[in-house]
Amino acid sequence: MSNFIKKLFGTLAEKPWEKEQAAIDTYHSGKTFNLSMQTSAVIVIFGLSTVLFSLILTGYLYTMPPEQDTKFLFKPNLLWINTIVLFFVTYFFSKITKDLNKNNTTQIKKNLILVGGLSYLFLFGQIFFWYQLMQDEKFVHTNTYFSSFYIFTALHGLHLLGGLFFWGKVCSKTLKLEQSEIINQKKNISALSLYWTFLLIVWLIFFSTIYVFNDAFIAWCKTILT
């Protein structure tokens, strides 16, 4: 990061009108970062989505009213299983990245299908958890805790669906490719892998926040302290 900042300030300090600098500049390739277009796009989406999710979390913390019934979430529930599923998706994506370097085509294709399947399983799990919440009469309008929960999980799910759309496109191409051609999809697969890692991080932050910052948990902490 410090290297990046140093280079950023170095760039901003250039004097493009001077002949010495002009000679250096003319040699420039025109590309700022050594990244593929796909990875660049994913990084830009990171920035945007990070702000989006941060604002929802900030809104949740800002409006967190006292005495909300959040005990439901403390019972053993599907959210934990869903979290583990998402972990596995990221794990298999990292395996795909390693296999890409080894050019292990069969394994790549197998794991690519697996990550898609697990992602759909995660989405199904989230929807089923919504169903369980509603069965327990915890609706989106019940209180701001559940309102934030529903909106965050919905937006996270939409991000995942967006990722799955591109996963579908990449997967359909990759499955048709021979061993020698699979490297053509490397940039796309790496970008997808990065995107899923981001979704896991976002989910983990949210998951821990809803457990830590709520009235029931705070009350439980107080009982331990007293």
Partner 1 sequence: MSEDFNENKTIQAQSSETISGGETGVAPDIDYVRPAELSDQDLYHGHTFITKWVFCQDAKVIGVQYFLLATFTGIIGLILSWLMRLQLGFPGAAGFMTAEHYYQFVTMHGMIMVVYFLTALFLGGFGNYLIPLMTGARDMVFPYVNMVSFWMFFVAVGVLLASFFVPGGPTGSGWTLYPPQAILEGTPGSGMGIILMCVSLILFVAGFTMGGLNYLITILQARTRGMTLMRMPLTVWGIFTATVLAMLAFPALLVSALMMTLDKVLATSFFMPTILKAGEVLEYGGGTPILFQHLFWFFGHPEVYIVALPAFGIVSDLISVHSRKNIFGYRMMVWAIVVIGALSFFVWAHHMYVSGMHPWFGFFFATTTLIIAVPTAMKVYNWILTLWRGNIRMNTVMLWCLGFIVTFVNGGITGIFLGNVTVDVPLSDTYFVVAHFHMVMGIAPLMVIMGAVYHWFPLVAGRMLSEKLGKWHFWITFLGAYSIYFPMHYLGFIGVPRRYFEMYDSPYITSAVGMNEFISTAAFIVGAAQFILIYNIVVSLKMGKPAGKNPWQANSLEWLTPSVPPEHGNWGDKLPVVYRWPYDFSVPGAKEDFIPQTTPPSEVVETEVEKT
30 is a contact residue toward partner 1 (CB under 8 A): yes
14 is a contact residue toward partner 1 (CB under 8 A): yes
Residue 59 phi/psi, 5-degree rounding, is -60, -40
In order of 40, 43, 51, 96, 114, the CA distances from 195 in angstroms are: 11, 8, 15, 14, 16
User: Where does this chain touch partner 1 (CB under 8 A) — which range of 48-56, 78-86, 164-172, 183-191?
Assistant: 48-56
183 is a contact residue toward partner 1 (CB under 8 A): no
CB of 220 to partner 1, least distance (A): 21
- Residues recorded for the chain: 226
In contact, 53 and 202? CB cutoff 8 Å: yes
User: Where does this chain touch partner 1 (CB under 8 A) — which range of 41-49, 168-176, 203-211, 213-221?
Assistant: 41-49
106 is a contact residue toward partner 1 (CB under 8 A): no
Q: Which residues bind partner 1 (CB under 8 A)?
A: 4, 7-8, 10-20, 22-35, 37, 40-41, 44-45, 47-49, 51-52, 55-56, 59, 62-63, 65, 140-141, 143-144, 147, 151
